[in-house]
Structure 1
Amino acid sequence: MVSRGVVGIFLLSALPLLCLELRRGIPDLVHLKEEEEQNEKKQKLVREKQQEAQGEKASRYIENVLKPHQEMKLRKLEERFYQMTGETWKLSSGHKLGGDEGASHTSFETSNREAVKRENLPKSLTEVLPPAEQRMRKEVLDLPEEPPETAEEIVTVALRCPSGRVLRRRFFKSCSSQVLHDWMVSTGYHTSLYSLSTSFPRRPLEVEGGQSLEDIGVTVDTVLIMEKKEQGN
């Protein structure tokens, strides 16, 4: 009984000390928890920055490497397709004459004289026509108004010049075939020096004023090649 009483007295005397130690330890636990929360926030911020950096890096890769590579691949496939179909003229941006026939007509005399001069033809062929003859020549070279894309019974003609430039224009199939020569002359290439041929099969195109485009076989979208005539022709 005495020993139990001694133990009880000892525990009672030690209880205040235990409570004091517990009170001292509680702030330490709170501080430790706050440090853990701050560390978690810092780690989360670091992860977010890493994700943003990776996202920017992926975007730059797509824009600077992947996208150009895909565009180049598509371009090669397109070139291969048009080479197989014989429609390589579609790869060129071309030049439509629908809105600038007037400018072409205005520069006709100058372009024609330069072309003739290159062929060393007599000076008489390079002389400027009198005003009356100029008006007559311009009337002959007036091209018909280009029909809209939605019109029926039309064809698109691509004219490949010796310089490599490709011109495109729409015509009604019922137009006189002479319009092809007028178009060629209006671009500065005279029929005395150049002729027209079909691209496939390759053959000279017979243009006659009394026949329409449909009569000479231009019934679908067509590529015509402008070729320099041989000397003596």
Structure 2
Amino acid sequence: MSNSNRYVVFCVLLAGVCFISWKRSLIGVKDALMLSGRGLILLAVCTLMIYMIQRLKSFFSPVCQEPSASPLHESSRLKQEQARINQQNKHNEKTSDYVEAVIKPRQNLFLQQKMERYHRMTGETWKLSQGFTVGEDESETHDDVDVNETPYQRAKRRRRLQTAAQVTVQQDVPKEKTVIVLPDEPQPDAEGVVKIALRCPSGRTIHRRFLKTWSSLLLLDWIKKSGYPPALYTLCTSYPRKPLLTAADVSLEDAGILVDTVLNVEEKDPSTT
């Protein structure tokens, strides 16, 4: 029983005794109050003594060791530990499989791409080829090779084949680049002169004077010379926005350029080409 419960029981008993004695006139009110006070003091002294005895006993008595776990609890703990170890091993196996199947191939591919980019930047693309064994290209694989052919004859035939290959390569002369030549700009006060401004995708604006009677294809030559090939770019009017008509038999006047005009150089939509 706790101390609070003891206090309550003692107070109830003491109050009952005092009430019964007072009712039967065994003791007076003053004596009943004195008896109650002495009882409370006695209870307080007893409680203090019990508390001090328990403290002294716990101070002088040795620390009690915890009882050893039962065999059932020990076996359960071992099973749980073994289950955790097995689960951790499964996780480690999955991690190693993922590293071998995904991480390492991805790292090898990334390293190979970096090496290829490095060799291309340094001009050592020959390192990217598999190569061949020395003397492998000199081996004869043709069926018409004469086994009685002397080394001199074999070398002569090989030189003749190399010369023929060089002549074939020299015949493949690259085509000459087309040089774009625009007509000279007319004078500002000439009749039929219009000034055209091009707004380029880079943000710059270029100006040039044309005659309205000139062909509209000169505008395509102009943007091509400015670095915007007509195969990828087109000319559009500012307002209303629409593609400018350009053809060999269409003049600037026929295309709608009657006064000074601003044209936009825009990229063509790949879906419409």
Greater fraction of residues in helix: 1
State which structure, 1 or 2, has the greater radius of gyration over its C-alpha atoms: 2
- Give the alignment's TM-score, normalised by structure 1: 0.41
